[in-house]
Structure 1
């Protein structure tokens, strides 16, 4: 009888362990609208998008990264991690060799189907707005078995810091019309981009309407006709601005109402992720400085 009870208890324990193992599995819908099953909390993660790399680290899971894309450069603790290409040219062999139990990548990146065919679990996410950043943070937290309260805590910190940046801008610096250049050609950030959302929260007016799409390719003459009060641009793009058709007639250039961001600052500004609060502070400082400049340049 005793032996039968012990056998029963043993079988019950095994059954409970099985139920526990099953309960750990989580099914998530990624931005491809694909249902992805995470069988157990991943211990080896490859991230192929900088904003996702930063999200993993903001959630306190940086130590689980075993590889990142060539553009991921924050925080400093990831500096020595293997680089595995970029979104358009991921190094399939390097990713597979790292034996990840989760690959994070953008929906616009290449290789997702190939990774899946090779038996890797792929979660494709691409935040494009403030709401997306909060949503993606929650999904990544679920995938990594991080309590949702932690992802919400991180988001609340970001959101509160953006509000604080907005409150730091003096009234006379509000309402400035801004052209934000994302990259050469040129491409700009419109009202519908996450950058445009931040500018709006800071009380600025974007010369590029949402109807153009988040990051439209701009005809240089558009900017000339719009005559922005100030320009925000990375240091790699500013050199050729005066050579663009008609740009010698831009008052913002003539009055030096241009905020030029260093490379590291540009990285912060163009990534929809945990450092959006820092991006807001950079833009707020620009608006404040140029607001003073504008008031002094008026007759």
Structure 2
């Protein structure tokens, strides 16, 4: 009898050790991240059903090799081409709450400014709010997403982007470095200043942005400002180009007078205005145009 009691005690002790080991492993596997709101979100396992509400986040999920886990995207996500077949659930100001809930996501990736975030959380969904707005932000966001997704290493993904931009910059001849550039994002006109990620990209390839960062990342300008700045090259969507010559005084701008206009297609424009894995393509487009070469449809 005494031996039987001892054996049972050993068995219970062994079972307890196994349970403790399993519990310790589960705790170790839990990933906790802090998003741009300062909110801490825990994941016991990598999410298998992902909804994104910002194009740059869609592209970063795919860059981290988790594209197949996307079940819904925002209105404007269109790269890579595989995401165009996914349900569209709105975006910053018009997220479709019912449609998102119906997709049963394990996580919703959204910009911090997305109005639907509080309501989605109130309905029990996990939301990670991230919004890359600069090179540093992009590296940081990759560092948050990679452990959550449990996919590709963030450092490798960042290296690919950073080295791709550097490689594109090397293609710009020394004679073109220091060229004064005006980058227009909207015909209001809104411009990309030195403090925007587009401004950072221009600086990386070695040209000068005529719009100072002190005006904010994407300031609305008085058209006369651009006339006074007199850029040597203007980068703009091909849809906006027809109005440039009709703007008062713009025929005096060197870039307009010399025909040095970088005209980008809508697809190319997407690559240029989204801080994400296509930034090497954006840099290559800028360099090609500065060289006076046709941009075509590719980089």
**TM-score, scaled to structure 1:** 0.92
Contact 1:24-1:41 within 8 A present in 2 as well: no
Contact 1:49-1:106 within 8 A present in 2 as well: yes
Structure 1: which 5+ residue stretches go unaligned? 291-299
Structure 2: which 5+ residue stretches go unaligned? 294-299
Q: 1:23 aligns with which of 16, 24, 28?
A: 28
SS at match of 2:211: coil
Q: 2:108 aligns with which of 100, 103, 106?
A: 103
Partner deviation per Cα, 1:27-68 (whole Å, 9 max, x = no partner): 211111222222332111101111111111111111111100
CA distance in 2, matches of 1:29, 1:245: 49
CA distance in 2, matches of 1:186, 1:39: 47
Q: 1:11 aligns with which of 13, 16, 28?
A: 16
1:219 corresponds to which residue?
222
CA distance in 2, matches of 1:55, 1:218: 31
1:175 corresponds to which residue?
178
1:84 corresponds to which residue?
89
Q: CA deviation at 1:151?
A: 1.2
CA distance in 2, matches of 1:81, 1:9: 49
1:70 corresponds to which residue?
75
Q: 1:56 aligns with which of 54, 61, 81?
A: 61
Is residue 160 from structure 1 mapped to residue 166 from structure 2 by the alignment? no
Q: CA deviation at 1:104?
A: 0.4
SS at match of 2:85: coil
Contact 1:231-1:259 within 8 A present in 2 as well: yes
Partner deviation per Cα, 1:67-106 (whole Å, 9 max, x = no partner): 0001111111212111111212111111111111111011
1:271 corresponds to which residue?
274
CA distance in 2, matches of 1:284, 1:9: 66
1:261 corresponds to which residue?
264
1:93 corresponds to which residue?
98
Contact 1:235-1:261 within 8 A present in 2 as well: yes
Partner deviation per Cα, 1:127-185 (whole Å, 9 max, x = no partner): 111111111111011221236xx211111111111111111111111111000011221
CA distance in 1, matches of 2:76, 2:44: 29
Q: Mean Cα displacement is larger for which, 7-16 or 199-208?
A: 7-16
2:243 corresponds to which residue?
240
**TM-score, scaled to structure 2:** 0.92
Q: 2:233 aligns with which of 215, 218, 230?
A: 230
CA distance in 1, matches of 2:231, 2:10: 81
SS at match of 1:182: strand
Contact 1:174-1:287 within 8 A present in 2 as well: no
Q: Please tell me whether Structure 1 or Structure 2 has the larger radius of gyration of its CA atoms.
A: 2
1:293 corresponds to which residue?
none
1:194 corresponds to which residue?
197
Q: 2:44 aligns with which of 15, 22, 39?
A: 39
Contact 1:178-1:232 within 8 A present in 2 as well: yes
CA distance in 2, matches of 1:196, 1:163: 15
Contact 1:54-1:74 within 8 A present in 2 as well: yes
CA distance in 2, matches of 1:223, 1:244: 11
Q: CA deviation at 1:4?
A: 4.2
Q: CA RMSD in A?
A: 1.5
